[in-house]
Every structure is written in structure tokens, then in C-alpha cells.
């Protein structure tokens, strides 16, 4: 297959009448020996000489190659200008379920861009899932809980959420420490792939506390529902502005590390994602 990079170098050489003359116009740093070597590889691949060196002159094959390459490479600057002048209206976001359901609609409203003008791609994700989506460039920004910076990605902590236990409203316990001392402790929690559960369960193990994970619930709302129905003690987070579940109470988990929630992205954010991140920071300040 034709090496497009080699063809690009040939385009500049043909356009400016020689390798030395082309060097100042190639839009990235490359030395004359490297250009000569790559042009030679192109000629070897094509089985044809593309130009005479001294004096410079395109061969018939070189003229054909230049006429093919010139419209594309000559138009790149115009294409770049046109794309940069168009407002970015495509937003690709991964986020935890609670963000997608309870907060992202308000963020989009604050952003001032709505469908049909906005093309919106949403993915529900944990930290690990968001990492994969970002690396594979399926999303541009992730708003999730994460426990540490991730190699190859940029991150910014937006808030820290204290963990808490969820108990039935009728439970006589006045603090979480009393509940955690119970011998027959059945927990209701989100699966361990979700960072909030993983963090709290790891701390319970570190303290040598005994428990059984009886119910895996897919959201904090479901944790409240099943605790209220008598299926155990729940693990949750103190999320600002979140409504209390019916028939339950919350007990702070004193001495447990808060869960970091924030933004992850790879490389440089596009204009719309950058605006969304700024709005998320402002939105969180308003919640607090």
C-alpha cells in the first residue's frame, strides 16, 4: 500500500522544486537526509523515478503523482480553517448513572445547547469502563468516581463524597460504628466494580469486619429501596441535593476515605467538552 506520508513529502518537493527548497515549507521538523531516504522508498515502492535531481524536473511518473496528490494536500489548510470555524456541536460523554439521570440534563441546559442542534452520545460507565472508552476515543469526557490518577489520561477532582450507611428508618442505631459491630451484617451495595462500593468494602476488610454482600444493586436509589424493604444495611454516598430514600436513614461512615468524583479526558478537550467541564464545576459549587 502506498505510504501517504512519503507521498506528502514528495508533494512538497515537487511543489517547491527540490528537497532543499521544500524543507522550510514542510509543516513539521525533518532533515534533508530523511526526506531523501523516504522519497527513495516511495520510488522503490512505485518502481518509477519521480524526478531528476539536477536540474530538478519531474518525470512523467512524477507529474502523474503530483497531479494526484496536489488537490488533497493543497486543500488541507482550507479544510482546517473551515472545520475550526464551525461550532463544535458533537458531545460524547461517559458518566455514572446518577450523573446521567439526575445532573447531566441540567448541565446541558446551562450549556445552552440542545438537540436537534446538539449531537449527543452518552455512555453509562464505571471508572474502568470510562478509561477504555477514552483510550479508544469513543468518548471525549468522562464524569465518574475514580480512586487515583490514570496513566495516559488527564483528571480533575470536582468533589469528594463522604460514604455513609443506609439503615431502615426503624433501626435503633445512632451511628455507623454501632451497626458495623453487628455479627450478622448483610449489606446492600452497588457491585464492586463501582468505585464507591470498592472503597468502602476494602476499608471494612482492612478493619477485619465481618459482612455478607447480600444484594448487589445497580444504583444508589436501588440501595435505598432494598434497605427500606428490609434486605440489609446499605452502602451509599452523601450526594449533594439527592433526595432521601423512603423509609431509610443515613449514618455517616466516620473515618472512611471520601470517594473522589471528577472528570477524566485524554489529550486536549474540544470547545464544547471544555465548556461542559466548566459548567460542571459551577454546577457543583451551586450544589454545595
Instruction: Give me the DSSP letters along the chain.
Output: ---HHHHHHHHHHHHHTSHHHHGGGSSS---HHHHHHHHHHHHHHHTS--EETTTTEE-HHHHHHHHHHHHHHHTHHHHHHHHHHSPP-EEEEEE-HHIIIIIHHHHHHHHT--TTTSEEEEEE--HHHHHHHHHTTS-SEEEEE-SS--TTSEEEEEEEE-EEEEEETT----SHHHHHT-SS-EEEE--TTSHHHHHHHHHHHHTT---EEEEE-SSHHHHHHHHHTTS-EEEEE--TTPPPPTTEEEEE-TTSPPEEEEEEE-SSPPHHHHHHHHHHHHHHHHH-
Are the CB atoms for 228 and 246 separated by under 8 Å?
A: yes
Question: Is residue 17 packed enough to be buried (19+ CB in 10 Å), middle (13-18) or exposed (0-12)?
Answer: middle
The mean pLDDT value for 75-100 works out to 76
Q: Over pLDDT 70: what percentage of the chain? A: 95
Residue 159: pLDDT over 80: yes
Task: Return the pLDDT at 84.
Answer: 61
Q: Which CATH superfamily does the domain covering 88-160+260-287 fall into?
A: Periplasmic binding protein-like II (3.40.190.10)
Q: What is the dihedral of CA 211, 215, 219, 222, to 10 degrees?
A: -120
Between residues 115 and 283, the one the model is more confident about: 283
Mean residue pLDDT across the chain: 89
Q: What is the pLDDT of residues 99-144, one digit of tens each?
A: 888 888 889 888 887 666 788 899 999 888 999 999 999 999 999 9
Q: Do domains 88-160+260-287 and 163-256 have the same CATH topology?
A: yes
Q: What is the pLDDT of residues 15-72, one digit of tens each?
A: 999 999 999 988 888 899 999 999 999 999 999 999 998 899 999 999 999 999 888 8
Res. 195 pLDDT band, cuts 50 70 90: confident
The mean pLDDT value for 241-255 works out to 89
Are the CB atoms for 220 and 204 separated by under 8 Å?
A: no
Residue 89: pLDDT over 90: no
Res. 81 pLDDT band, cuts 50 70 90: low
Are the CB atoms for 7 and 65 separated by under 8 Å?
A: yes
The mean pLDDT value for 82-96 works out to 73
The architecture CATH gives domain 163-256: 3-Layer(aba) Sandwich (3.40)
Are the CB atoms for 24 and 17 separated by under 8 Å?
A: no
- Residue 31 makes CB contacts below 8 A (sequence gap 6+) with none
Residue 85: pLDDT over 60: no
Task: Return the pLDDT at 242.
Answer: 78
In 3D space, the residue among 107, 111, 155, 108 whose CA is nearest the CA of residue 130 turns out to be 155
- Residue 261 makes CB contacts below 8 A (sequence gap 6+) with 143, 144, 145, 146, 157, 158, 159, 160, 161
Are the CB atoms for 166 and 248 separated by under 8 Å?
A: yes
Name the residue ranges covered by the structural domains of the chain.
Answer: 4-83, 88-160+260-287, 163-256
The mean pLDDT value for 183-209 works out to 90
Q: What is the pLDDT of residues 201-236, one digit of tens each?
A: 999 999 999 999 999 998 889 999 999 999 999 999
The mean pLDDT value for 79-89 works out to 61
Specify the CATH number of the domain 4-83.
1.10.10.10
> Around Cβ 188, how many Cβ atoms within 10 Å?
24
Task: Return the pLDDT at 274.
Answer: 92
Cell readout for 36 is 531523501
In 3D space, the residue among 126, 155, 123 whose CA is nearest the CA of residue 267 turns out to be 155
Amino acid at each position: 500500500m502506498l505510504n501517504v506520508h512519503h507521498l506528502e513529502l514528495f508533494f512538497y518537493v515537487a511543489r517547491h522544486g527540490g528537497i532543499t527548497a521544500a524543507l522550510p515549507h514542510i509543516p513539521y521538523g525533518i532533515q534533508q537526509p530523511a526526506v531523501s531516504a523516504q522519497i527513495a522508498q516511495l520510488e522503490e515502492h512505485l518502481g518509477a523515478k519521480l524526478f531528476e535531481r539536477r536540474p530538478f524536473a519531474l518525470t512523467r511518473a512524477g507529474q502523474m503523482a503530483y497531479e494526484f496528490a496536489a488537490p488533497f494536500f493543497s486543500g488541507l489548510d482550507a479544510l482546517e480553517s473551515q472545520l475550526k470555524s464551525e461550532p463544535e456541536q458533537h458531545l460524547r460523554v461517559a458518566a455514572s448513572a446518577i450523573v446521567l439521570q439526575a445532573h447531566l440534563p441540567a448541565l446541558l441546559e446551562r450549556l445552552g445547547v440542545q438537540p436537534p442542534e446538539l449531537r449527543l452520545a452518552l455512555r453509562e460507565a464505571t471508572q474502568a469502563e470510562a478509561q477504555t472508552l477514552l483510550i479508544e476515543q469513543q468518548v471525549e469526557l468522562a464524569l465518574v468516581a475514580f480512586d487515583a490518577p490514570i496513566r495516559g489520561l488527564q483528571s480533575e477532582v470536582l468533589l469528594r463524597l463522604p460514604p455513609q450507611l443506609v439503615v431502615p428508618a426503624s433501626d435503633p442505631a445512632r451511628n455507623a460504628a454501632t451497626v458495623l459491630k453487628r455479627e450478622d451484617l448483610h449489606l446492600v451495595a452497588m457491585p464492586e466494580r463501582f468505585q464507591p462500593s470498592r472503597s468502602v468494602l476494602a476499608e471494612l476488610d482492612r478493619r477485619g469486619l465481618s459482612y455478607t454482600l447480600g444484594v448487589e444493586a445497580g444504583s444508589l436509589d436501588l440501595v435505598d429501596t432494598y434497605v427500606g424493604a428490609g434486605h440489609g444495611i446499605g452502602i451509599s454516598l452523601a450526594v449533594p441535593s439527592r433526595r432521601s430514600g423512603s423509609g431509610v436513614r443515613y449514618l455517616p461512615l466516620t473515618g472512611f476515605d471520601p470517594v473522589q468524583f471528577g472528570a477524566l479526558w485524554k489529550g486536549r478537550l474540544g470547545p464544547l467538552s471544555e465548556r461542559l467541564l466548566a459548567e460542571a464545576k459551577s454546577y457543583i459549587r451551586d450544589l454545595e
